[in-house]
């Protein structure tokens, strides 16, 4: 099990709630998602000042920067710069908006704050969260990124070098540690080569579970050969799906697919084996 603390820590720092002219607020996409101007324009066209909420800002040496609420702030800027057909009454109400202003944060702290504020929200995609987490210097994301870079893998790419399901890959690191992720990726590549489905997080999760739970029994090189005999990685993923849904007779979920992957990899290891067999989990318990 990994020993690192993968929590999001931000040092104590001054926070104030104050009125700010939204036209003075700047944006830095390195510490959050990229600005979607089309989305901001749509917000501006329907913006109700009393429902604006409280954007979160960071006070840097060269001014105020949006940490959360970037699209709402940009929508205000569009309105105040008369780039929408909004009424004068709405413009007047947005001359100053109430913001939560944090002082004394590094850019890495800003990125961590962004993730904390959006962690339970559907607004931030997992690929953006990963990118921002790496910038924040958060150990979970950095450790994961180090392993992915070692294997020349990229998050969000659909190529043969693209990782599919970064949340699942992060879960592998959280549960088993970066060394197991490294070994699991090596095993998958030895079994199937570099294909898009080789790096699917559910398959990698199953390999990681078997290697991590049975380190004194399972030899990764031999496991790779066993997996190769199961067919290509796409067929193996289909097998996992069949197991997870019990031949399409029940709904599956992330946990169910991971248990099914564990079962499929364990069964592959046990195939035609009299000694060094490992337990096969009952995924429907």
- Count of beta carbons in the 10 Å neighbourhood of residue 136: 25
For residue 11, pLDDT over 70 is answered with yes
Asked if residue 152 and residue 99 are part of one domain, the reply reads no
DSSP E strand boundaries for 153-236: 154-155, 162-163
pLDDT tens digits, 196-205: 999 999 999 9
CA atoms within 13 A on the CB side of 210: 36
Please indicate, yes or no, if residue 4 is contained in any of the structural domains.
no
Please indicate, yes or no, if residue 277 is contained in any of the structural domains.
no
Residue 18 pLDDT level (bands cut at 50, 70, 90): very high
Percent above pLDDT 70 for the chain: 92
Asked if residue 169 and residue 107 are part of one domain, the reply reads no
Asked if residue 73 and residue 165 are part of one domain, the reply reads no
Residue 271's SS3 state is coil
Asked if residue 162 and residue 94 are part of one domain, the reply reads no
Q: Which residues contact 197 (CB under 8 A, 6 or more apart)?
A: 164, 203, 232, 233, 234, 236, 237
Stretch 6-23: mean pLDDT: 89
Please indicate, yes or no, if residue 9 is contained in any of the structural domains.
no
For residue 248, pLDDT over 60 is answered with no
Q: Identify the pLDDT of residue 253.
A: 58
Please indicate, yes or no, if residue 285 is contained in any of the structural domains.
no
Report the distance separating Cα 237 and Cα 5, nearest Å. Answer: 32
Please indicate, yes or no, if residue 7 is contained in any of the structural domains.
no
Q: Identify the pLDDT of residue 276.
A: 92
Average pLDDT, the chain: 89
Stretch 243-261: mean pLDDT: 74
Report the distance separating Cα 109 and Cα 114, nearest Å. Answer: 9
User: What is the pTM for the complete model shown?
Assistant: 0.67
Q: Identify the pLDDT of residue 268.
A: 96
- Count of beta carbons in the 10 Å neighbourhood of residue 211: 23
Please indicate, yes or no, if residue 128 is contained in any of the structural domains.
no
Helices 178-192 & 201-213, crossing angle to 10 degrees? 110
Asked if residue 261 and residue 195 are part of one domain, the reply reads yes
pLDDT tens digits, 42-61: 999 888 898 899 999 999 99
Structure tokens that stand for 102 in this block: 């944090």
For residue 237, pLDDT over 80 is answered with yes
Asked if residue 246 and residue 169 are part of one domain, the reply reads yes
For residue 266, pLDDT over 90 is answered with yes
Report the distance separating Cα 133 and Cα 215, nearest Å. Answer: 30
Asked if residue 221 and residue 183 are part of one domain, the reply reads yes
Residue 88's SS3 state is helix
Asked if residue 69 and residue 143 are part of one domain, the reply reads no
Q: Identify the pLDDT of residue 156.
A: 83
Asked if residue 266 and residue 180 are part of one domain, the reply reads yes
For residue 62, pLDDT over 80 is answered with yes
Asked if residue 201 and residue 105 are part of one domain, the reply reads no
CATH number of the domain enclosing 64:
3.90.1530
Question: Quick check: 243 and 257 in contact, CB under 8 A?
Answer: no
Please indicate, yes or no, if residue 91 is contained in any of the structural domains.
yes
For residue 97, pLDDT over 60 is answered with yes
Range in 5-19, 151-165, 170-184, 212-226 with the lowest mean pLDDT = 5-19
Last residue in a domain, options 86, 118, 150: 118
Structurally, how many domains does the chain consist of? Answer: 2
Asked if residue 149 and residue 31 are part of one domain, the reply reads no
Domain region containing 146: 138-270
- Count of beta carbons in the 10 Å neighbourhood of residue 194: 14
- 113-118's contacts with Cβ under 8 Å and 24+ in sequence apart are 113/10, 113/56, 113/58, 113/67, 113/68, 114/31, 114/32, 114/67, 114/68, 115/8, 116/8, 116/10, 117/56, 117/67, 117/68, 118/68
Please indicate, yes or no, if residue 255 is contained in any of the structural domains.
yes
Structure tokens that stand for 183 in this block: 């070994």
Asked if residue 110 and residue 167 are part of one domain, the reply reads no
Report the distance separating Cα 201 and Cα 185, nearest Å. Answer: 10
Stretch 22-45: mean pLDDT: 89
């Amino acid at each position: 099990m990994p020993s690192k603390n993968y929590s999001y820590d931000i040092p104590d720092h001054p926070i104030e709630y104050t009125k700010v002219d939204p036209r003075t607020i700047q944006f830095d996409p390195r510490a959050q998602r990229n600005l979607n101007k089309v989305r901001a324009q749509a917000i501006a066209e329907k913006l109700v000042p009393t429902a604006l909420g409280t954007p979160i800002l960071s006070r840097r040496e060269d001014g105020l920067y949006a940490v959360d609420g970037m699209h709402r702030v940009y929508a205000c800027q569009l309105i105040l710069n008369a780039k929408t057909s909004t009424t004068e009454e709405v413009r007047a109400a947005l001359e100053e908006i109430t913001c939560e202003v944090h002082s004394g944060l590094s850019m890495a702290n800003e990125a961590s704050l962004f993730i904390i504020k959006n962690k339970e929200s559907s607004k931030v995609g997992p690929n953006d969260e990963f990118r921002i987490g790496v910038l924040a210097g958060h150990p979970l994301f950095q450790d994961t990124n180090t392993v992915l870079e070692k294997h020349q893998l990229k998050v969000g790419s659909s190529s043969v070098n693209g990782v599919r399901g970064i949340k699942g890959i992060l879960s592998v690191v959280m549960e088993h540690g970066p060394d197991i992720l490294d070994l699991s990726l090596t095993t998958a590549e030895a079994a199937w080569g570099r294909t898009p489905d080789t790096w699917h997080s559910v398959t990698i999760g199953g390999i990681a579970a078997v290697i991590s739970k049975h380190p004194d029994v399972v030899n990764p090189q031999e496991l790779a050969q066993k997996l190769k005999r199961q067919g290509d990685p796409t067929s193996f993923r289909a097998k996992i799906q069949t197991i997870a849904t019990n031949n399409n007779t029940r709904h599956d979920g992330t946990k169910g697919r991971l248990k099914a992957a564990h079962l499929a990899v364990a069964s592959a290891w046990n195939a035609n084996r009299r000694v060094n067999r490992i337990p096969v989990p009952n995924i429907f318990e």
